[in-house]
Amino acid sequence: MLQTGWTQPENRFNRLAAFYNKAAGGGLKPVSQAELRRLNFAPKRLTMGGAGLASTVDDYMRFARMLGSGGSLEGKRILKPSTIKLMATDQLDPRVTERFWLGGKGNGGFGFDFFVRTGQPKGPAENRGAVGEFFWDGLGSTLFWVDPVNKLTVVFLVQVFPLDGAHHRDLRKAVYGEDYVGPKGD
User: Residue 170 pLDDT more than 80?
Assistant: yes
Asked whether residue 43 is domain-assigned, the answer is yes
Share of the chain above pLDDT 90, in %: 31
Report the relative pairing of strands 20-22 and 160-161 from DSSP bridges. parallel
pLDDT at 137: 84
Share of the chain above pLDDT 70, in %: 83
Q: What is the 3-state secondary structure (H, E, C) of 36-87?
A: HHHHHHCCCCCCCCCCCCECCHHHHHHHHHHHHCCCEECCEECCCHHHHHHH
Cα 171 to Cα 92, 124, 163, 165, distances in angstroms: 27, 14, 14, 10
pLDDT at 59: 92
pLDDT at 64: 94
Question: The domain spanning residue 20 has which CATH number?
Answer: 3.40.710.10
Asked whether residue 3 is domain-assigned, the answer is no
pLDDT at 32: 82
Asked whether residue 181 is domain-assigned, the answer is no
Q: Quote the pTM value.
A: 0.82
pLDDT band of 88, cuts 50, 70, 90: very high
Asked whether residue 182 is domain-assigned, the answer is no
User: Residue 80 pLDDT more than 90?
Assistant: yes
Half-sphere exposure of 89 (CA within 13 A, CB side): 9
User: Residue 49 pLDDT more than 60?
Assistant: no
* Domain encompassing residue 100: 10-176
User: Residue 47 pLDDT more than 60?
Assistant: no
**Mean of per-residue pLDDT scores for the chain:** 83
Report pLDDT digits (tens) over 50-75: 556 778 889 999 999 999 999 999 99
Asked whether residue 161 is domain-assigned, the answer is yes
pLDDT at 174: 92
Asked whether residue 183 is domain-assigned, the answer is no
Asked whether residue 102 is domain-assigned, the answer is yes
Report pLDDT digits (tens) over 125-146: 788 889 999 998 887 888 899 9
Asked whether residue 25 is domain-assigned, the answer is yes
pLDDT band of 155, cuts 50, 70, 90: very high
Number of domains making up the chain: 1
